[in-house]
Amino acid sequence: MPPDAAAPTPATHNLWTIARIQDVLTSPVLVRRFLLDMAHAPEPEVMNVFTAWRRVAATIEAHASRSTAPEMRTAPERLAEDGS
């Protein structure tokens, strides 16, 4: 039986898309700026603009994943980390 073509492969679920960058940018101002930059970039520069904003989004995503404050974690999460 052939694999389902619609199912994402593990390698593709982490690909950066315009939608993913937009989701990661937490500020409406940043989202608006990103979309304007993409819309107004001349064809030869579209990938450079995309890459620059991908780096911004990746940095935001990395900081967000590292900055879960201890007081924001649930009791089971704290217990699991404490080994209790």
Taking 70 as the threshold, does the pLDDT of residue 50 lie above it? yes
Overall pTM surpassing 0.75 (yes/no): no
Q: Are 22 and 35 in contact (CB under 8 A)?
A: yes
CB atoms within 10 A of CB 3: 7
Of the candidates 84, 67, 66, which has an alpha carbon nearest to the alpha carbon of residue 75?
84
Q: Are 46 and 38 in contact (CB under 8 A)?
A: yes
- Report pLDDT for 58: 95
Question: Of residues 60 and 66, which shows the higher confidence score?
Answer: 60
Cα of 75 vs its chain's centroid, Å: 27
Categorize the per-residue pLDDT at 73 as very low, low, confident or very high, splitting at 50, 70 and 90. low
